[in-house]
């Protein structure tokens, strides 16, 4: 049995996707790198589970990997701007929210509304046409919280916060 770096290299599989880093959600394309014998086994599984990624997606993924880092940096900056907007906006509404450190979701506590997360999500959707996901959909620890995506245009987040403010004035 190999040990040390050589042993780790022989057992390592690198998997990556284009969805988040290069804003290619829905394209369903990624990559794998591994020792030859592991790749042979992965190819067998792949052959029987999926045909192949579309040619256009493969070319787009190649272009993203070769030339996309500047766009990635700009996207990171824009998501940071959106994150700051939604977190400060939710906190200002009394919906206590910690600053997210990953993904593009804020997870505010809706206790100030006097509702549980399911009731809050349904009422907000019906009354103000703002969709959030009840935190309990993510397990028992999500009770009392909702998930708010900030993978939307900045202006749409601003509008959602205006609508949520109206909602909280009625229910908070």
75: CB partners within 8 A, 6+ apart: 23
Domain ranges, ordered by start, for the chain: 4-67, 71-171
134: CB partners within 8 A, 6+ apart: 117, 118, 120, 121, 142, 146, 147
The residue-averaged pLDDT of 72-87 equals 95
Structure confidence at residue 45 (pLDDT): 84
pTM exceeds 0.75: no
The domain defined by 71-171 folds into 3.90.1150
pLDDT of 65 > 80? The answer is yes
pLDDT of 64 > 80? The answer is yes
Q: How confident is the model at residue 109 (pLDDT cuts 50, 70, 90)?
A: very high
Structure confidence at residue 74 (pLDDT): 94
Question: pLDDT of 95-105, one tens digit each?
Answer: 999 999 888 99
């Amino acid at each position: 049995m190999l040990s040390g770096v050589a042993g780790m290299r022989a057992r390592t599989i690198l998997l990556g996707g284009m969805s988040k880093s290069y804003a290619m959600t829905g394209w369903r394309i990624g990559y794998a790198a591994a020792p030859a014998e592991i790749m042979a086994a992965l190819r067998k599984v792949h052959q029987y589970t999926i045909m192949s990624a579309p040619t256009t997606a493969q070319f787009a993924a190649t272009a993203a990997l070769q030339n996309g880092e500047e766009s990635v940096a700009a996207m990171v900056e824009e998501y940071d701007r959106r994150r700051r907007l939604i977190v400060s906006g939710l906190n200002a509404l009394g919906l206590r929210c910690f600053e997210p450190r990953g993904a593009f979701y804020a997870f505010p506590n809706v206790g100030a509304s006097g509702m549980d997360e399911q009731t809050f999500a349904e009422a907000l959707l019906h009354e103000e046409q703002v969709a959030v996901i009840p935190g309990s959909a993510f397990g028992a620890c999500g009770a009392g919280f909702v998930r708010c995506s900030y993978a939307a245009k900045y202006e749409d987040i601003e509008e959602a916060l205006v609508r949520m403010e109206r909602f909280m004035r009625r229910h908070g």
